[in-house]
Structure 1
């Protein structure tokens, strides 16, 4: 063997090692970004579910739930009214103004679980796990339901917030950019990702 071949073989190992390190250095952050995006997408889906649940709770009880027990009990035991609205034009007067009669009929009730979480869309839905943050290892969303005073009126508000974001950018400044839906200060049902 010549010195050139020996030198080539000796350098081949560090070259392959450095190539792997460069590849892994590029691939690692990309895989981490994908993992964070996947978890955040699941958290956002759960926050949308919680918003719909809270709006349903409000439609039945006239206030937002302030605890997980209230929401879990609502899913398990409450029902929505199935109401039919019909309008009929009663008469038209000489000026051409129509008078409309509106009639509301209660046709029955539908369980909250079947209405908001149908088995076709959520086959493995468990009301007891509604508070658990996806990908967190069992941590729960923070829940708030209450009233705030705005323009001399008391307004019902709610907020669900992820207290331990996976994304390092959302953890800055005491989790100020953590994923959340609703607001403790404003009458809003929007999420901060929208």
Structure 2
């Protein structure tokens, strides 16, 4: 066996090891980015669901829920009114102006759970897990409800925020960029991923 062949075989092992380390060094961050994107997609879906629940709570109570027990109780025991609205044109006066009456009739109620979470779409829905952040190991979203003053008018606001972001960029400055829906300072129900 020549020295060249021996030298080639000796170098082959470190070359293979270095090749694997290079491959793994590139593949690792890509897999981590995919994992983070998957968890954030689940968090966003949950925040959208929570936004819909808060909108329903507001439509019934005239304010947003400030605790998980309020939201859970609303889902388990709350009811939406089924309302029918009719507009009746009574007459037209000499100037051609119509007189319109609006009649609002309550036809009944629908349980919130059946309306927002039908069993056909959400077969395994458990309202007790609303506060749990997906992929966090059981940590809870932070929930806030209150009012702000806008042009001397009190406006109801809410904010639901991810307290345990998996993305290192979102954890900077005490979770300043954490995924959230609503705002403590602005009258909005938009999520910060929608900006």
TM-score normalised over the length of structure 1:
0.95
State the match for 1:131 in structure 2. 131
State the match for 2:169 in structure 1. 169
Deviation at 1:89, TM superposition (A): 2.6
* Cα deviation 1:4-41 (Å, max 9, x = unaligned): 22222211111111111111111111111111111111
- Residues 84-103 of structure 1: pairs in structure 2 closer than 5 A: 84-103=84-103
Query: Counterparts of 2:101 and 2:6 in 1: how far apart (Å)?
Result: 98
State the match for 1:158 in structure 2. 158
Tell whether 2:30 aligns with 1:21: no
Structure 2's unaligned 5+ residue stretches are none
Query: Counterparts of 1:4 and 1:107 in 2: how far apart (Å)?
Result: 92
Structure 1's unaligned 5+ residue stretches are none
Query: Counterparts of 2:182 and 2:34 in 1: how far apart (Å)?
Result: 26
Deviation at 1:90, TM superposition (A): 2.5
Query: Counterparts of 1:80 and 1:139 in 2: how far apart (Å)?
Result: 31
Deviation at 1:98, TM superposition (A): 2.6
State the match for 1:121 in structure 2. 121
Tell whether 2:71 aligns with 1:78: no
State the match for 2:62 in structure 1. 62
Q: Secondary structure in 1 aligned to 2:193? A: coil
Tell whether 2:105 aligns with 1:105: yes
Deviation at 1:155, TM superposition (A): 1.4
Query: Counterparts of 2:108 and 2:12 in 1: how far apart (Å)?
Result: 77
State the match for 1:191 in structure 2. 191
Query: Counterparts of 2:79 and 2:46 in 1: how far apart (Å)?
Result: 21
| Greater displacement, 97-106 / 64-73 | 97-106
Q: Matched residue pairs, number?
A: 194
Q: Secondary structure in 1 aligned to 2:37? A: helix
- Residues 12-51 of structure 1: pairs in structure 2 closer than 5 A: 12-51=12-51
CA RMSD of aligned residues (A): 1.3
Query: Counterparts of 2:42 and 2:96 in 1: how far apart (Å)?
Result: 55
TM-score normalised over the length of structure 2:
0.94
Deviation at 1:76, TM superposition (A): 0.5
Query: Counterparts of 1:122 and 1:131 in 2: how far apart (Å)?
Result: 17
